[in-house]
Chain A
Amino acid sequence: MRKTSRAVAALLAVAALVVAACGGSDDDKTSSSGSAKTSSNKPVTINWWHIANNDPLKTIWKNAATQYMAAHPNVKIKITVLENEAFKAKLTTNMQAGKPPDIFQSWGGGTLKEQADAGLVKDITEPTKPWISTLNDAGVGLYKIGDKQYGIPYNLGLVGVWYNKKLFKKAGIDGPPTSWNEFLGDIQKLKSAGITPIAVGEKDKWPGMFWWANLSLRVAGKDAMAKAATDGGTFTQPGFVEAGNQLKKLIALKPFQQGFLASPWDGAGGEAATVGNGRAAMDLMGQWAPSTFAANTKDKKGLGKNAGWFPFPTVDGGAGQPGEQFGGGDGFAIGRDAPPETVDFAKFLVSPAVANKGGASGAILPVAKGTESSVTDPNMKAVLDARGKASFVQLYLDQAYAPAVGQAVNDAVQQLFAGKASAEQVSKKIADAAKAG
Chain B
Amino acid sequence: MATADTTIARRRPGATGRRVRRIGARTLLYVVAWIAAIATLVPILYAILGGFRDTGQLSTNPVALPDPWVFSNYTGILKSSTFWHQVWNSTLIALVSTALTVPVAALAAFVFARFAFRGREVFYTIFTLGLLFPVAIAILPIFIMVRNLGLLDNPLGVALPQAAFGLPMTIIILRPFFHSIPSDLQDAAAIDGCGPFRFFVRILLPLSRPVLATVSVLAIVGSWNAFLLPLVVLTDSGGWTLPLGVTNYSQQYTTDTAKVLAFTTLSMVPALIFYAFAERQLIRGLTSGAVKG
Q: Which residues of A contact B (CB under 8 A)?
A: 5-6, 8-9, 12, 26, 51-54, 80-86, 89-90, 92-94, 96-97, 99, 265-270, 272-273, 276-277, 286, 288, 291-292, 295-300
B276 CB within 8 Å of chain A: no
B56 CB within 8 Å of chain A: yes
With A53-B247, A89-B231, A93-B143 as contacts: A296 and B55 at CB distance below 8 Å? yes
Q: Which of B165-173, B254-262, B266-274 forms part of the interface with chain A?
A: B254-262
In the complex, are the beta carbons of A84 and B251 less than 8 A apart?
yes
- A297 interface neighbour in B60, B145, B228, B251, Cβ under 8 Å: B60
Bound: A277/B61 CA distance, A: 10
B236 CB within 8 Å of chain A: yes
Instruction: Name the distance in Å between B148's Cβ and chain A's nearest Cβ.
Output: 4
Chain A residues within 8 Å of B181, by CB: none
- B235 interface neighbour in A80, A272, A277, A297, Cβ under 8 Å: A80
B150 CB within 8 Å of chain A: yes
Return the chain B residue nearest A92 by Cβ: B140
- B147 interface neighbour in A53, A89, A97, Cβ under 8 Å: A97
Chain B residues within 8 Å of A97, by CB: 140, 143-144, 147
- B150 interface neighbour in A8, A84, A92, Cβ under 8 Å: A8
Count of CB-CB pairs between chains A and B under 8 Å: 111
List 29 A-B residue pairs with CB atoms under 8 Å apart, sorted by A's residue number: A5-B148, A5-B149, A8-B149, A12-B150, A51-B251, A53-B250, A80-B235, A80-B236, A84-B250, A84-B252, A86-B231, A89-B228, A92-B140, A93-B143, A96-B144, A99-B147, A266-B254, A267-B58, A267-B257, A268-B58, A268-B62, A268-B257, A270-B59, A273-B60, A288-B254, A292-B253, A296-B254, A297-B59, A300-B56
Chain A residues within 8 Å of B252, by CB: 51, 84, 288
In the complex, are the beta carbons of A269 and B59 less than 8 A apart?
yes
Contact string, B146-177, partner A, CB cutoff 8 A, digits 1/0? 01111001000000000000000000000000
Return the chain A residue nearest B253 by Cβ: A288
Instruction: Name the distance in Å between B117's Cβ and chain A's nearest Cβ.
Output: 23
In the complex, are the beta carbons of B60 and A277 less than 8 A apart?
yes
In the complex, are the beta carbons of B236 and A26 less than 8 A apart?
yes
Bound: A273/B254 CA distance, A: 11
Chain B residues within 8 Å of A8, by CB: 148-150
Closest 10 CB pairs of A and B: A273-B59, A83-B247, A296-B59, A9-B148, A298-B56, A93-B232, A84-B252, A288-B253, A292-B254, A93-B143
How many chain B residues touch A (CB < 8 A): the figure is: 35
Chain A residues within 8 Å of B232, by CB: 89-90, 93-94
- Judged by DSSP, the binding face of B is helix
Return the chain B residue nearest A273 by Cβ: B59
Extra pairs beyond A269-B62, A276-B59, A296-B55 (15, CB < 8 Å):
A26-B153, A53-B251, A85-B250, A93-B140, A265-B253, A266-B253, A267-B58, A268-B58, A270-B59, A273-B59, A292-B254, A295-B256, A296-B56, A296-B254, A298-B59
Instruction: Name the distance in Å between B77's Cβ and chain A's nearest Cβ.
Output: 15
In the complex, are the beta carbons of B231 and A5 less than 8 A apart?
no
Chain A residues within 8 Å of B58, by CB: 267-268
Chain B residues within 8 Å of A52, by CB: 251
Instruction: Name the distance in Å between A255's Cβ and chain B's nearest Cβ.
Output: 21
Instruction: Name the distance in Å between B257's Cβ and chain A's nearest Cβ.
Output: 5
Which residues between 7 and 35 of chain B lie within 8 Å of chain A, taking CB atoms?
Answer: none
- A267 interface neighbour in B59, B139, B231, Cβ under 8 Å: B59
B99 CB within 8 Å of chain A: no
- B251 interface neighbour in A83, A99, A269, Cβ under 8 Å: A83
Which residues between 227 and 243 of chain B lie within 8 Å of chain A, taking CB atoms?
Answer: 228, 231-232, 235-237
Chain B residues within 8 Å of A12, by CB: 147-148, 150
Bound: A235/B63 CA distance, A: 44
Chain A residues within 8 Å of B228, by CB: 89
Q: Which of A8, A54, A268, A286 has the most CB of B within 10 A?
A: A268
B57 CB within 8 Å of chain A: yes
Return the chain B residue nearest A98 by Cβ: B144
Instruction: Name the distance in Å between A398's Cβ and chain B's nearest Cβ.
Output: 14
Bound: A269/B255 CA distance, A: 13
Return the chain B residue nearest A86 by Cβ: B247
Instruction: Name the distance in Å between B61's Cβ and chain A's nearest Cβ.
Output: 8
B244 CB within 8 Å of chain A: yes
Q: Which of A54, A96, A267 has the most CB of B within 10 A?
A: A267
B180 CB within 8 Å of chain A: no
Chain B residues within 8 Å of A299, by CB: 56
In the complex, are the beta carbons of B231 and A90 less than 8 A apart?
yes
Bound: A269/B253 CA distance, A: 15
B248 CB within 8 Å of chain A: yes
Bound: A299/B228 CA distance, A: 35
Bound: A8/B247 CA distance, A: 33
Chain B residues within 8 Å of A270, by CB: 59
Contact string, B81-113, partner A, CB cutoff 8 A, digits 1/0? 000000000000000000000000000000000
Chain A residues within 8 Å of B148, by CB: 5-6, 8-9, 12
Which residues between 183 and 240 of chain B lie within 8 Å of chain A, taking CB atoms?
Answer: 228, 231-232, 235-237
Return the chain B residue nearest A47 by Cβ: B235
Bound: A153/B254 CA distance, A: 21
Instruction: Name the distance in Å between A29's Cβ and chain B's nearest Cβ.
Output: 15
Bound: A286/B256 CA distance, A: 19
With A288-B252, A288-B253 as contacts: A268 and B59 at CB distance below 8 Å? yes
Bound: A300/B54 CA distance, A: 10
In the complex, are the beta carbons of A295 and B55 less than 8 A apart?
yes
Return the chain A residue nearest B56 by Cβ: A298
- B56 interface neighbour in A26, A266, A295, Cβ under 8 Å: A295
Chain B residues within 8 Å of A296, by CB: 55-56, 59-60, 254
Chain A residues within 8 Å of B149, by CB: 5, 8
Return the chain A residue nearest B235 by Cβ: A80
Chain A residues within 8 Å of B237, by CB: 80-81
Chain B residues within 8 Å of A267, by CB: 55, 58-59, 255, 257
Chain B residues within 8 Å of A269, by CB: 59, 62
